[in-house]
Amino acid sequence: MNFTWRDRAVLVTGANGFLGAWLCRALLDAGAQVIALVRDEPRPGTLELMGLAERVTRVRGAVEDGASCERALAEYEPSVVLHLAAQTLVGVAQRSPAATFEANIRGTWMLLEACRRHARGLAAVVVASSDKAYGSHDRLPYREDFCLQPRFPYDVSKACADLIARGYFHSYGLPVAVTRCANLYGGGDLNWSRIVPGTIRAALQGERPVVRSDGSPVRDYLYVEDAVRGYLLLAESLGAGRHRGDAFNLGTDQPLAVLDLVHAILGACGRGDLEPDIQGTATGEIDRQFLDPTLAAAELGWRAETRLEVGLARTVAWYREHHPW
């Protein structure tokens, strides 16, 4: 079965977010018709900064609201749904778990229920889980056959969404699969509490970057355009009738300590003279997390192609150009 993006209607939830905007750009470049389910439209927003706001059809609504999901599916009849809408910040989840559960858990089943009711003509549904869904394991890297054993609110919310999504395939035959991505970085991330954009903003303003942890946690950092390729390849595979009900890790398998990343960012900004402000106050986070991407390579032909130094250079250049703060 041939799969093409040209003239295909694609619903993207969370389209005005960091990954969502980059996915919209790739879909538009491929000739797709993009329907963006948008709850808030901050100024500036990532879609606006990337020059995409007027190129997508925006549907105002939240995934927690079943009527908004129903309207988007019924009126625009997308054949592909990419579900990214979520509360994505670990610190916010720690302070406000109920709102995070509403967005990440209720929002997922509300959208999938709308998809189930409008499954005719639906070729693919890709749901964003996270490496955080695995929780803490003694053995690393995470593989897709590891059990999900999260402990903290954000991690629990993503594990629930992950299980719900795959349950909709096994129970109802919905053509759904799940991505479990490493920490994403790239231009357009406007959540300044995250380590990459926060450090870049501080460096370009001549300020010491703040590190909320003690700098030792180890993570896997994936450039956003590599993640976009993974999403599109998985959607194409679902559209061809493969990998329904599956989950795929998208990561580099090249773990890095937070403090080492901060120094790499400062170097990319030309501000190696700045000393990070290490606060050691972060709570509700796992010390070591990184992914084994072997399955995605074997089944989807996907690999992370962007070296960290290249990705950071592109990211810093984006912020230098746009100055979104």
**pLDDT interval class at 152 (50, 70, 90):** very high
Phi, psi of 37 (to 5 degrees): -85, 115
How confident is the model over 257-274, as pLDDT tens digits? 999 999 999 999 999 999
- Asked if 319 is an active-site residue, the reply is no
Do 260 and 217 meet the contact criterion of CB atoms below 8 Å apart? no
How confident is the model over 307-320, as pLDDT tens digits? 999 999 999 999 99
pTM, full prediction:
0.96
Q: What is the pLDDT at residue 321?
A: 95
Q: Is the pLDDT of residue 324 over 90?
A: no
How confident is the model over 167-185, as pLDDT tens digits? 999 999 999 999 999 999 9
- What average pLDDT is seen over the chain? 96
Q: Which domains does the chain have, with CATH numbers?
A: 9-182+223-252+290-304 (3.40.50.720)
Do 3 and 38 meet the contact criterion of CB atoms below 8 Å apart? no
**pLDDT interval class at 325 (50, 70, 90):** confident
Q: What is the pLDDT at residue 122?
A: 97
Query: Which runs of consecutive H residues, i.e. helices, occur in 173-276?
Result: 195-204, 224-239, 258-268
Q: What is the pLDDT at residue 270?
A: 97
Q: What is the pLDDT at residue 44?
A: 79
- Closest C-alpha to 220, from 152, 145, 275, 140: 140
Q: Rounded to an integer, what distance in angstroms lies between the CA atom of residue 166 and that of residue 144?
A: 13
Catalytic residue among 154, 168, 185, 319: 154
Tokens, residue 298: 């074997």
Q: Is the pLDDT of residue 223 over 70?
A: yes
Count the Cβ atoms, other than its own, within 10 Å of residue 95: 12
- Closest C-alpha to 279, from 200, 208, 205: 208
How confident is the model over 85-126, as pLDDT tens digits? 999 999 899 999 999 999 999 999 999 999 999 999 999 999
**pLDDT interval class at 1 (50, 70, 90):** low
Section 61-82 average pLDDT? 96
Q: What is the pLDDT at residue 104?
A: 98
Q: How far apart are the first and last CA of the chain?
A: 46
Q: What is the pLDDT at residue 14?
A: 95
Q: Rounded to an integer, what distance in angstroms lies between the CA atom of residue 122 and that of residue 80?
A: 6
Q: What is the pLDDT at residue 282?
A: 79
Which of 9-23, 54-68, 166-180, 277-291 comes out lowest in average pLDDT?
Answer: 277-291
Please list, residue by residue across 233-249, b when 16 or more beta carbons sit within 10 angstroms of its beta carbon and e when fewer do.
bbbbbbbeeebbbbbbb
Which of 39-48, 69-78, 105-114, 209-218 comes out lowest in average pLDDT?
Answer: 39-48
Section 178-194 average pLDDT? 96
The residues, any chain, with a CB within 8 Å of residue 239's CB and separated by 6 or more, are 1, 3, 79, 80, 123, 124, 175
Do 153 and 284 meet the contact criterion of CB atoms below 8 Å apart? yes
Do 148 and 158 meet the contact criterion of CB atoms below 8 Å apart? no
Q: Is the pLDDT of residue 285 over 90?
A: no
Q: Is the pLDDT of residue 42 over 80?
A: no
CA 114 vs CA 71, 75, 110, 154, 257: distances in Å: 9, 12, 6, 24, 41
Q: Is the pLDDT of residue 64 over 60?
A: yes
Q: What is the pLDDT at residue 224?
A: 98
